[in-house]
Structure 1
Amino acid sequence: MKKEQFLIRQPGIIGEEEFRQYAVLVPMIDIDGITYLLFEKRSSKLRYQPGEICFPGGKHETGETLQECSVRETVEELLVTRQQIEVLGPGDIYISPFNLMIHSYIGIIREYRDTFSTDEVAEVIKVPLDFFRNKQPEKFESKLNHEPPKDFPYERITGGENYPWAKGTYEILFYHYEKWIIWGMTAQIVKSAVNLIDEYNIRI
């Protein structure tokens, strides 16, 4: 490594190896000239978050890029071809306080015919992009508190058991569209993606 390379390196995230890495696609589709965001309702048969609304995506696998992961999962879940998917660029990264990192990609699915794998998806949901432009999500704050293990070495730190641990909060968002509730991590990714779509004047 040379000093010049250090100058232009992209910073890493300390502790990133402890996070589970996932990637999702934020799919835009066109229906009669109107842009919609496409969501999935997760199958009730799934072990994690059954029945919740999300974007197509899943766990990053060794040997693939995060963008490839988002496309692979979309192909598997929505039964579309890779040729139907145009990835326009990366969205923002959602970092969960629960050791979870979700990398989002904004893209287009062309000629989508309402297909999906019933193993993973109960149904698909289409929400007009303008809904999110015109509707602010409800916001709630959840508290985060330190809970050191029972064998924590308090004798090594100033204040011991009375050490003033920092406290924090994380924001939980809710969108309510017709009979659907889009919330949590998916709502955070939606809010960020819609801002990027407008900031960069992204169109189908």
Structure 2
Amino acid sequence: MEKEQFSIRRPGMIGEEKFRQYAVLIPLIRISGVNYLLFEKRSNELKRQPGEVCFPGGKLEAGESIQECAVRETVEELMVLPQQIEVMGPGDIYLSPFNLMIHPFIGVISDYHDTFSRDEVEEVIKIPLDFFRSQEPERFVSKLISEPPEDFPYEWIPGGVKYPWAKGTYDVLFYKYEDWIIWGMTAQIVKSAVKLMEEYHLIP
């Protein structure tokens, strides 16, 4: 590294190595002239988040880019070909307070015929994009509280055991469409992605 490169470096993120990195595709499909967002209901046999409604995606593997990860997972979970997927671009990164970093990509799946892998997916769910354009999610605020370990060296900090730890919050969002609930991280990603689609005129 040279000193001259410092002024143009892309800043890293302190503590990024502690985040588990995932990528998801936000799939758009078009049926009879109507745009839909395509979701999955995760198999009840999965250990993590069984039965949850989500987008296709998964954990970043060594040697692949985050976009390659999103496409690979979509191919595996929805049983489509890579050439059926047109990635339009990246969404905004979602940082979970629980050490998860989600990299979304907005894309279009063409010629989709309701295929999916039953090992990971119980069923696919199509929700009109216009629903999310017109519907604000319900919002609930959850508290985050610092809880130091039992061997924390309170004698090293001003105030000791009475130190006024900062408290935080994070929003938990819910969309309700017919019998489906889209909530949590997926709802946050939906809200952000729909805003980007409007801002950049991605969808007519």
Give the structure 2 partner of residue 53 of structure 1.
53
SS state at 1:92 partner: coil
Cα deviation for residue 109 of structure 1 reads 0.3
Letter in 1 for 2:2: K
> Map of 1:150-161 to 2, 5 A cutoff?
150-161=150-161
> Which whole-Å CA distance do the structure 1 matches of 2:4 and 2:124 have between them?
49
Gaps of 5+ in 1: none
Name the structure 2 match of 1:34. Answer: 34
Listed one character per residue, the Cα deviations across residues 58-101 of structure 1 (whole Å, up to 9, x for unaligned) are 00000100000000000000000000001010001000000110
> What count of residue pairs does the alignment treat as equivalent?
204
Between the aligned partners of 1:20 and 1:201, the Cα distance in structure 2 is: 32
Give distance in 2, aligned partners of 1:29 and 1:174: 22
Residue 4 of structure 1, CA deviation: 2.9
- The separation in 1 between residues aligned to 2:192 and 2:70, in whole angstroms, is 17
Whether 1:127 and 2:127 are equivalent positions in the alignment is yes
Q: Matches of residues 12-161 of structure 1 in structure 2 within 5 Å?
A: 12-161=12-161
For residues 151 and 84 of structure 2, the distance between their equivalents in structure 1, rounded to whole angstroms, comes to 54
Matched AA of 2:48: Y
Q: C-alpha separation between the residues in 2 aligned to 1:77 and 1:27?
A: 12
Q: Under a length normalisation based on structure 2, what TM-score does the superposition of the two structures give?
A: 0.99
Deviation for aligned residue 1:152: 0.2
For structure 2, list consecutive stretches of 5 or more residues without a partner in the other structure. Answer: none
How many Å apart are 1:49 and its aligned residue?
A: 0.6
Distance (whole Å) between structure 1 residues aligned to residue 38 and residue 7 of structure 2: 41
Q: For 1:52, give the aligned amino acid.
A: E
Q: Which amino acid aligns with 1:89?
A: G
Distance (whole Å) between structure 2 residues aligned to residue 173 and residue 203 of structure 1: 24
- After TM superposition, give the deviation of residue 5 of structure 1 in Å: 1.5
TM-score by length of 1: 0.99
Residue of structure 1 equivalent to 2:195: 195
> Which aligned runs of 4 or more in structure 1 are off by greater than 4 angstroms?
none
Q: Report deviation, 1:8.
A: 1.2
Letter in 1 for 2:78: L
Aligned equivalents of 2:194, 2:10: Cα separation in 1 = 26
Question: How many angstroms apart in 2 are the aligned matches of 1:88 and 1:46?
Answer: 30
